[in-house]
Homo-oligomer: A and B are copies of this chain.
Amino acid sequence: MKNNNTEWIDCNNTEWIDYKEIFSEIAIELQSLPSAGKVASYIPELDHIDGEKLGIHLITTNNIHYSIGDSKERFSIQSISKVFSLAMAIDLEGTDLWDRVGIEPSGTAFNSLVQLEHEKGVPRNPFINAGAIVVCDVLASHFQNPRKEIIEFIRKLTGKKNINYSSEVAESERRTGYRNRAVTCLMKEFGNIKNKVSDVLDLYFDLCSIEMSCEELAQAFAFLSNSGANPLTGEVIVSMSHSKRINAIMQLCGFYDEAGEFAFKVGLPGKSGVGGGIVAVHPGKYSIAVWSPKLNKKGNSYIGMKILESLTTKTNLSIF
């Protein structure tokens, strides 16, 4: 009966799209794709990663899973974790948060100090480093032990108790992160950092060191594909309104200065990390995580972008 109703297939019932078939096609395409991009090398812990790793994991809002390759192997999710800290901070601060961090695209490279100085220490959005550091400052003001609260939040989203920070990665960032230190001092000068600079940076470096697999990431982002509620348990993680707004921010700011490119070619809200991971969400349909460590010149996973572009092209489904 379902099969007779072609209009049905255009609807939100994602099971009718044959993701398995689509992923098979993508897997074949990937073989003919020239190897390109470079593994992030600014800290040794990232540089050591095998550039040929590849994982994909998609979870529909009906909880059907599709995966390819190294989808269960954990990697450094880096900036992707900024979505988790943002979700926590929105819940705690509500609209007050937007006095301290903007929601506009940055328009320049992800670590520029120019805009920050021009705009009096208020970062453009919560996904550039400066913005994520302000979000860490918010969490540091609200929680006795923000480090523990963040990881517990992610463990709850995924049901995996052993997700954790990498102390090696965090330590390495701590040793070399002079630009982040400069950014934080500048915001402190403007009064937009309330806690001690070193405490906030410690939390930030920890945040970026979290290690998760594609499967875990897709699971952790499922609430953003389901209006803020865990699709499996129905538990409300954030309100529908906050869920929509986090997605809007991901759409406009999730890919440094390649946000337009991603919206243009993929057409989904998402967030990338220099570890080579990308998470994207189709509201009402699915969440997906891909991992391929080699980055393009803008710092986003070269193959990850290709996979997601191919996925939305083949399904004829983007939010636009």
How far, in angstroms, from A183 to B11 measured CA to CA in the complex? 45
Chain A residues 159 to 198 lying within 8 A of chain B, measured CB to CB, are 178-179, 181-186, 188-189, 197
Cβ A251 vs Cβ B186 within 8 A: no
How far, in angstroms, from A13 to B7 measured CA to CA in the complex? 8
Number of copies of chain A assembled together: 4
Chain A residues 1 to 60 lying within 8 A of chain B, measured CB to CB, are 7-8, 10-13
Cβ B113 vs Cβ A260 within 8 A: no
Which of B106, B118, B186 interacts with A179 by CB under 8 Å?
B186
Query: Considering residues A178, A247, A249, A251, which has the most beta carbons from chain B within 10 angstroms of its beta carbon?
Result: A178
* Residues on the B chain within 8 Å of A264, using CB: 103, 245, 248-249
Which of B7, B13, B114, B258 interacts with A117 by CB under 8 Å?
B114
Comparing A73-81, A145-153, A312-320, the segment that makes contact with chain B is: A312-320
A251 to chain B, nearest CB (A): 6
Chain A residues 302 to 320 lying within 8 A of chain B, measured CB to CB, are 313, 316, 318-320
Q: Count how many chain A residues have C-beta atoms less than 8 Å from C-beta atoms of the other chain.
A: 59
Asked whether any CB of chain B lies closer than 8 Å to the CB of A269, the reply is yes
A188 to chain B, nearest CB (A): 4
A83 to chain B, nearest CB (A): 13
Which of B12, B105, B179, B240 interacts with A259 by CB under 8 Å?
B105
Task: Show 9 A/B contacts (Cβ-Cβ < 8 Å), sorted by A.
Answer: A7-B11, A8-B8, A103-B264, A107-B108, A113-B113, A181-B182, A182-B189, A253-B260, A319-B319
Closest 8 CB pairs of A and B: A107-B107, A105-B105, A247-B320, A11-B11, A182-B185, A104-B260, A178-B189, A103-B260
Q: Which residues of A contact B (CB under 8 A)?
A: 7-8, 10-13, 102-108, 112-115, 117-118, 124-125, 178-179, 181-186, 188-189, 197, 240-241, 243-245, 247-249, 251-253, 257-261, 263-264, 267, 269, 283-284, 313, 316, 318-320
